[in-house]
Amino acid sequence: MTGYVFATGNCIGCGQAFTFNPLRVPSIPINGTREPVCRACIERANQRRPALGLEPIIPLPGAYEPCPEGEL
């Protein structure tokens, strides 16, 4: 039997609690600690990025899904 793991935390962008794969979720370094960013904030940021000449942020596959416990 394989177990699955997900992390729960608050988004650094909007403060909402959400679940995510701790190894794949997009994050921002704040004072040396990587802080997670929720899917909704990534989508909002991606709406503004082209006007700034930036490529969209593309989360890794499974970023907001549980991961097999063996990956940790």
Instruction: Tell me which residue of 7, 14, 8 sits closest to 41, measured CA to CA.
Output: 14
pTM for the full predicted model:
0.88
Residues forming beta bridges with residue 68, ordered by sequence position: 4
Alpha helices in the chain (DSSP H): 39-48
For 18-58, write each residue's pLDDT tens digit: 999 999 999 999 999 999 999 999 999 999 999 999 999 99
User: Of residues 41 and 69, which shows the higher confidence score?
Assistant: 41
CA distances from 22 to 10, 15, 52 (A): 12, 17, 29
